[in-house]
Structure 1
Amino acid sequence: MTSSQFSELHTPTMTQTANIPLWKREGAEPFLKIENVTKKFGDFTAVDNISLDIYKNELFCLLGGSGSGKSTLLRIMAGFESATSGRIIIDGMDMAGIQPWNRPVNMMFQSYALFPHLNVADNVAFGLRREGVARSEVNKRVEKMLDMVQLGALGKRKPNQLSGGQRQRVALARSLIKRPKLLLLDEPLGALDKKLREETQFELINIQEELGVTFVVVTHDQEEAMTLATRIGVMNNGVIVQTAEPHVVYEYPNSRFVAEFVGSVNLFEGIIVEDLPDSVRIRSTEAGAELHVNHGISCAPNQVVHMAIRPEKIKISRQKPEQNVNCLHGVIEDIAYMGSLSVFKVRLASGKDVRITQPNFVRDMGARFTWHDSVYLSWDMDSSVVLTS
């Protein structure tokens, strides 16, 4: 089953419109329209003819590696870069020729860019004061915003007296206090350590939901995108290669690139030997067996494809399971204990290495498997996906 087929099967009827997201509603108008946007720097194309619709109150993530074009696209939305061609439309207004400070947009930079000589409250109030907002209104809005980001007691501190997470929240408060229609965030959590980043992700979601501002977040961190996003746009070489909800991107990647970039995956190359409407059989030398998947695809006879299976979907056992399909034999080459998970690398007779992850349900996991154990690997037909590109 392809990601588009999955989405169709899981799209509610129009009688349930109030309970479904805007991007699935027929006739819903996007809040942000990116139309055929291209950005070239000399002979180099950083953004290549991207079209994308983002809807009101979304927390949309642009996910990609370095040089994929995600930050350039964000800067075009903000007005810090001009598109070589194409249009940016925000809330029905074409942004062509509109300077950054006149757009209904604010941007939070990875460096936070706080003024070191100003205290927290003055940093947050800076934009309002530049616009000539009355002092009483400024004080009221600053107090409310600092309470929202849980910094109400720290208004008099300077940035160098704050932790990384606190500075991140000051920058967020300063970005939101002018009540932008659209907030752009460039790697907003990249400077935080892993534990603080995980905690701050949920704070960011709560603030976005409370304010109802549309967020577009740029990140290279797959886990961050999966946690934050209503939808993810995966970017590569200046192109968005897949746009979908996080679980669809993970479970139904549309290409080898997406499968390998988002999470960990095992890929088996093979040739289609049977393609039925509801199932596929693949002959794979790497696997040393025929592989069965319970969805059909559109391809030529004997086409070379890849079957993708996530490590957590694979079962590992010393005894051969009863199932006759999707069952492989190998030897454990490596084991990594990662606290909540154990990771096994199993080498098949073909020399292919397969990665398996299993949760550590009990404390003493040592009795289960050890190095050089002979084991069987198996998975259900509906746990894998066939990739033709």
Structure 2
Amino acid sequence: MSAFSLSAQASSQAKPIWRQADAEPFVQIEQINKQFGDFTAVNNVSLDIYKNELFCLLGGSGSGKSTLLRMLAGFEAPTSGRILIDGVDMSNTPPWERPVNMMFQSYALFPHLSVEANVAFGLKREGLPSGEVAKRVADILDMVQLGHLARRKPHMLSGGQRQRVALARSLVKQPKLLLLDEPLGALDKKLREETQFELMRLQDELGITFVVVTHDQEEAMTLATRIGVMNNGVIVQTAEPHEVYEYPNNRFVAEFIGNVNLFDGTVVADERDSASIHCPDTEGLVYLDHGISCAPNQNVSVAIRPEKIRISRDAFDAPHNVASGIITEVAYMGSQSIYKVRLPSGKEIRITQPNVQRDTGDRLTWDDQVHLAWDPDSSVVLTS
């Protein structure tokens, strides 16, 4: 697993809880459907989420992720199916009686109240003693590093600080489950990256189960113990971040998560420890060092991530997994360079290379004739 995606649960056990056969799910979503008239927003979704997970629902607009989150919160009622939290069926439980809190993308802070008053609002509504309210508010503001700003009003804060106030207000009631709907969407790139690590730290310290909805693939890869990728109301893959990236189970996931090169081809051979695929866009066969359980002559797609392709002006001495073409675009990104190469078939593919050495003045550039190669374990075969 990437260092960026480790959580308290994933890092504290040799085997993560979701890989343990006897583990009891904390959240159980069972065959949930949600229809708005003739439109099906969530289609027969079943999902288990475990205690102390930081689980991300990832998908594009209209994929059903926010609708599913709202059903967890109790703001929407399922058309059919049920949701259990900590073993209790929530079907007839209103939002205010669920052991859940939700942080909205807009933050929804009260502009006329100070930071500490915003955070204390829910506790006061519950009638907690003033001493306990003050202590819990002070503790959570210190945890989100806003204790020194307790007296300020929201308009006096930066976007990142307002985000942390909203997070503190959601956490101070000590929910069993915290739902976050696009929590970092309003932040700029640098602040968003910093806040991702802040969220992970807080989740680790508090041990609360987080469910985060996001459309941002990098955000999900950074935050999550596991990711549920949604498309057209269905969860199409649930796995740890590195599995979703390295082993997508269909073409949609491969294209949605990061960048990928896809070659259409036909299975030529499929043995127990190897497979060969004829792809018209490459030179020779695409060879894999494992079997793929496909029928002879079956049409498939071969997915290769851009960073797994080597690029050189010199030809590679290899009988398979090679191609050649002309560089059509170059982007220097500091830590890496991105090349787009047009193959003789007209197909354009993407290659990324780390800039591990200083520029020597002999960089690959536009219109260079180049050769490409990749290893037998770098390809993933997709049948759907």
Shared fold by TM > 0.5? yes
Query: Which one-letter code corresponds to 1:219 in the other structure?
Result: T
Answer yes or no: is 1:25 the counterpart of 2:20.
yes
2:173 maps to 178
2:203 maps to 208
Contact 1:109 1:185 (8 Å CA) reproduced: yes
Q: 1:210 to 1:81 in 2, by over 3 A?
A: same
CA–CA distance in structure 1, aligned partners of residues 356 and 296 of structure 2:
44
Query: Which one-letter code corresponds to 2:55 in the other structure?
Result: F
Answer yes or no: is 1:354 the counterpart of 2:349.
yes
Give the alignment partner of residue 118 of structure 1, picking from 92, 113, 118: 113
1:187 maps to 182
Deviations 1:154-173 (A, max 9, x none): 00000000001000000000
2:86 maps to 91
Q: 1:302 to 1:80 in 2, by over 3 A?
A: same
Unaligned runs of 5+ in 2: 2-11
1:9 maps to none
Q: 1:18 to 1:187 in 2, by over 3 A?
A: closer
CA shift for structure 1 position 361: 1.6
Answer yes or no: is 1:316 the counterpart of 2:311.
yes
CA shift for structure 1 position 52: 0.3
CA–CA distance in structure 1, aligned partners of residues 350 and 302 of structure 2:
14
CA shift for structure 1 position 287: 2.1
- Provide the aligned C-alpha RMSD in A: 1.2
CA–CA distance in structure 2, aligned partners of residues 260 and 168 of structure 1:
31
Per the normalisation by structure 2, the TM-score is 0.96
CA shift for structure 1 position 19: 2.5
CA–CA distance in structure 2, aligned partners of residues 318 and 228 of structure 1:
39
Contact 2:226 2:240 (8 Å CA) reproduced: yes
CA shift for structure 1 position 288: 4.1
CA–CA distance in structure 2, aligned partners of residues 257 and 296 of structure 1:
22
Contact 2:326 2:343 (8 Å CA) reproduced: yes
Answer yes or no: is 1:271 the counterpart of 2:266.
yes
CA shift for structure 1 position 47: 0.1
CA shift for structure 1 position 365: 5.9
CA–CA distance in structure 2, aligned partners of residues 212 and 323 of structure 1:
51
2:141 maps to 146
Give the alignment partner of residue 296 of structure 2, picking from 295, 301, 305: 301
CA–CA distance in structure 1, aligned partners of residues 85 and 360 of structure 2:
54
CA–CA distance in structure 2, aligned partners of residues 111 and 366 of structure 1:
48
1:224 maps to 219
Structure 2 SS opposite 1:19: coil
CA–CA distance in structure 1, aligned partners of residues 282 and 188 of structure 2:
39
2:338 maps to 343
1:108 maps to 103
Contact 1:183 1:213 (8 Å CA) reproduced: yes
CA shift for structure 1 position 18: 4.8
CA–CA distance in structure 1, aligned partners of residues 320 and 156 of structure 2:
61
Give the alignment partner of residue 165 of structure 1, picking from 160, 164, 180: 160
Deviations 1:326-368 (A, max 9, x none): 0111111110111211100011111111100011123326412
Structure 1 SS opposite 2:51: coil
Contact 1:288 1:349 (8 Å CA) reproduced: no
Contact 1:288 1:350 (8 Å CA) reproduced: no
2:367 maps to 372
CA–CA distance in structure 1, aligned partners of residues 13 and 350 of structure 2:
42
Contact 1:335 1:345 (8 Å CA) reproduced: yes
CA–CA distance in structure 1, aligned partners of residues 223 and 139 of structure 2:
24
Answer yes or no: is 1:199 the counterpart of 2:194.
yes
| TM alignment of 1:224-303, pairs within 5 A | 224-303=219-298
Give the alignment partner of residue 128 of structure 2, picking from 128, 133, 136: 133
Structure 1 SS opposite 2:134: helix
Structure 1 SS opposite 2:32: strand
1:13 maps to none
Contact 2:282 2:322 (8 Å CA) reproduced: no
CA–CA distance in structure 2, aligned partners of residues 295 and 54 of structure 1:
32
Per the normalisation by structure 1, the TM-score is 0.95
CA–CA distance in structure 1, aligned partners of residues 134 and 205 of structure 2:
20
